[in-house]
Amino acid sequence: MPKQKLPETWESDVRRGLLRLLVLAVIKESKSTFGYAIAQSIRERTTDRLIVQDGTLYPLLRRLEEQKLVRSTWDVSGERPRKYYQLTAAGDKQLLAMLEFWNELVISLDPLFRGIVEGRVADSDYQEQVQFCTSCGNQVYPGAIYCANCGAEISESE
């Protein structure tokens, strides 16, 4: 089935909305990283679906720093100076709150979207058919493709 073209503004809005979450997550995972590495990590992890431009990333990093969600330090020991970013305690709290919201959103909407994609109406009693991810033990609702907690692919037998 050929891939449908998305309305440009909708796709842009979704990407922009996710970028803050992705940047904070990459910084947390790496403990300390610089802008180019953040962009590359996002690009690799999304298999080239999200390519973050410098003109988008660096203003976001500045805003996150102004909001005290990240702090930065310069490393001038190499050939070229690099500004490294670390999550602050406030940034860590923000990230966890965003991840909780994201997980709830995915768990709530996945059965509906999965049902539409498969050409069926999602079961109204899906809440009673809760299953658990074999990788992390997270709740997984029928029809889920991936675990919202660990990202593991959910097999049909789960």
Same structural domain for residues 54 and 108? Answer: no
Q: Torsion-angle region of residue 101: left (phi > 0), alpha (psi -120 to 50) or beta?
A: alpha
- Its pTM stands at 0.68
Interval 86-109 mean pLDDT: 92
Residue 158: per-residue pLDDT: 42
CATH number at residue 20: 1.10.10.10
Same structural domain for residues 22 and 68? Answer: yes
DSSP state string for 18-44? HHHHHHHHHHHHHSSEEHHHHHHHHHH
d(CA 57, CA 4) in angstroms, rounded, equals 27
19: containing domain: 1-87
| 50-79 tens-digit pLDDT | 888 889 999 999 999 999 999 999 998 888
For residue 121, give both structure tokens: 């109406």
Same structural domain for residues 26 and 83? Answer: yes
CB 25 within 8 A of CB 95: yes
CB 44 within 8 A of CB 52: no
Last residue of a domain, one of 36, 61, 87: 87
Residue 106: per-residue pLDDT: 86
Q: At what angle do helices 8-30 and 35-45 cross, to 10 degrees?
A: 120
Same structural domain for residues 106 and 53? Answer: no
Number of domains comprising the chain: 2
The average confidence (pLDDT) of the chain is 81
Same structural domain for residues 38 and 72? Answer: yes
For residue 85, give both structure tokens: 């970013």
